[in-house]
């Protein structure tokens, strides 16, 4: 079976997406994130926004970092990215991340939510667990 996530970048600083004297840095980042995938924008260590692209991760994250009119431009300083080898799984992986992390996303994950049954909640409350 082919791997769905073939690589990831964890907590990279936003600054690696800016043009600077070291054009090689930007080119390396561009090459490593030149695939479809899912990304997380962080405000310090706190997940702020989860996004996806079926094109190149670099382009999408670069746009968040370099276009002041984008919605999340001022709200993040680090990012993580997950390279997804098969575009068919991008939506599913994004939905898992949105479901599991507290973020500012307004998106509703395309997954069926399973609620804790009321009888279990009642039992927990009896034990003093809110």
The CATH T-level fold of domain 5-126 is GIY-YIG endonuclease (3.40.1440)
The overall longest dimension of the chain from CA atoms, in Å, is 63
CA distances from 58 to 42, 63, 82, 92, 116 (A): 16, 8, 11, 20, 39
* 3 state DSSP class of 10: strand
Domain boundaries, the chain: 5-126
Reduced to 3 states, what is the DSSP secondary structure of residue 95? helix
pLDDT, tens digit (0-9, with 9 covering 90-100), for 70-126: 888 889 999 999 999 888 899 999 988 988 887 766 666 666 777 777 888 888 888
Beta bridge partners of 52: 38
pLDDT at 106 (0 to 100)? 65
Q: Quote the pLDDT of residue 13.
A: 92
Please indicate whether residue 21 or residue 9 has the higher confidence score (pLDDT). 9
pLDDT at position 1 is 41
Q: Please tell me the least confidently modeled range out of 25-29, 41-45, 51-55.
A: 25-29
Check pLDDT > 90 for residue 37.
yes
What is the value of pTM for the model shown?
A: 0.79
Tell me the average pLDDT across 16-32. Answer: 76
Alpha helices in the chain (DSSP H): 23-32, 57-66, 90-100, 118-126
Measured over the CA atoms of residue 18, residue 42, residue 12 and residue 61, the dihedral's sign is negative
């Amino acid at each position: 079976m082919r791997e769905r996530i073939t690589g990831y970048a964890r907590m990279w600083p936003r600054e690696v997406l800016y043009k600077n004297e070291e054009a090689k840095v930007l080119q390396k980042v561009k090459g490593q994130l030149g695939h479809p995938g899912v990304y997380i924008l962080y405000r310090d260590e706190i997940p702020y926004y989860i996004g996806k692209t079926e094109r190149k991760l670099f382009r999408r994250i670069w746009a968040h970092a370099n276009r002041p009119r984008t919605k999340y431009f001022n709200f993040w300083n680090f990012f993580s990215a997950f390279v997804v080898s098969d575009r068919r799984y991008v939506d599913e992986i994004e939905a898992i991340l949105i479901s599991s992390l507290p973020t500012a996303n307004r998106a509703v994950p395309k997954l069926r939510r399973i609620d804790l049954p009321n009888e279990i909640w009642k039992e927990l409350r009896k034990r003093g667990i809110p």
